[in-house]
Structure formats: structure tokens, C-alpha cells
A and B are shown apart, each in its own frame.
Chain A
Amino acid sequence: MLVFTRRRNEAIIVADGIEIRVLRVTKDAVRLGVTAPADVPVHRQEVYDQIREENRRAAAPAGLPAGLAQLVAHSDGGS
């Protein structure tokens, strides 16, 4: 891991055009500003992790279970 010491208003640059700037430092929090190209997704790690976990649980279902098949049939009848 690369480790930097940065002061307020100092930044690091990652690859081409991604800037991570320290905006504010308090006792136990750091406010960061990220400037990145529109096609580079930037997320809070805990949000990403939560969605990744949910996607893994959703992946590779065995098929349409009986309960859902009933919902589908019901929905067909209503349309």
C-alpha cells in the first residue's frame, strides 16, 4: 500500500485525471473531494460492499420457485 501524508487542501492524483483532495480534517473524520472522469465510478466502500453482497446472494437462482410462479400466474390473469 502506498502511504501519503497530506495536509488540508493537498491532493493525490491517481492515473489520468483522478484527484483525491483533503478538504477538512477533524478529530476522527477526514472530508475528501474526489474529481474523476464521468466513466469512473466512485463509491463509499460500505455502500459498494452491501450491494456486492446482495448481488452475490441474488446470483444463480435455481429457477423460478413455486411461490414466484404463483405470483406470475396471478399477474397474467390480472392483465
Chain B
Amino acid sequence: MTSLPAPVDLPRVETAFGTFDVSPDAIISFPAGLPGFEECRRFLVLSSRELEPFKCLQSVEGPSASFLAVHPQRVCPDYRCVLSDMDRARLGEPDEEALVWLALVTVLDDQTLVNLRAPVVVNPGKMLGFQLMPSNSLYPLRFELAELC
């Protein structure tokens, strides 16, 4: 008996943080892409035990759009971000309790920075996401990560 082909519904994604098996229904649509990566419209949020509480936000289109991310409240426990009517419309009128929030992490040689100003928000109900760009935010673009909450 010949070996079965790899199941097409479980592609394997290789990242700097390991190899992950993903199903196509895990693909999140980012209709506007991410600033700087506007051509990337489909992303995955990858988790693993080794990486917790960090996650990997990985573009399906290309390996270059791969980010380390963390829930903003793991960095700043009081973190709160208010969605505008327009934001809610872009997310397909989500159940706000169910939203997934991710702050992108920049890893430098001597420090780790977390972008608390422009978090990525995902509505898992509609598998829709985008990066919030508030023009008046109290939170820093480069918050230096010292400890996790």
C-alpha cells in the first residue's frame, strides 16, 4: 500500500519559534493587512506551551510577516482599549468579551519592546482582524518589557 499524501487541510507552518500544524479554519482575514505589510491579508495566531504567554502572529503569504505577540494585559494589567463604532464595524460587530488582543513585540539585542499603542485585535467569531491605530492613545508605542504579569 502506498503512503497516503499529507492531509491538505493540515498544512505545516515553519516559524522561528517552531513548526506548527494549522487547519485552514484557523486563518484570520486582515482586509487592510498590517501597516508595512499591507500585502499580507491572511494571518495565523500560533501558540505553543513553550512560547506561552507569547504567541506568534504569522502571515500565510510569506515568512517575513512573522511577529512575536503578547496579550497587552500580561504586560500592563490595567490595559484597556476602547473600540469606536467604526472599529466594531470593521470587526463585523463582535462580541467584545470574545475579542483576542495582541500587542506586537520587538526583540532587540538589549531590550524587548511591546507596542501597546497599536494592538492587533481579532474577532474569532468572524475570523477578522486589524491593527488599531488610535491617534490619541495613553499607551506607548515602545513599552520596555521587564516582567510579565
* A contact residues vs B (CB 8 Å cutoff): 38-39, 41, 43-44, 47-48, 50-65, 67-68, 71-72, 74-76
Contact = CB atoms under 8 A, between A and B. Distances in A.
Interface of B: 16-17, 31-32, 34-37, 50-54, 63-68, 74, 85-86, 89-90, 104-107, 112-113, 115, 117-118, 130-131, 133, 135, 141-142, 145, 147-148
Q: At the interface, is chain A mostly helix, strand, loop or mixed?
A: helix
A55 B17 contact: no
Question: Across chains A and B, which 8 residue pairs bring their CB atoms closest together, nearest first?
Answer: A38-B89, A52-B35, A52-B36, A58-B106, A55-B36, A63-B16, A75-B148, A51-B118
Nearest to B35: A52
A74 B148 contact: yes
Given A43-B133, A52-B35, A61-B107, A75 B141 contact: no
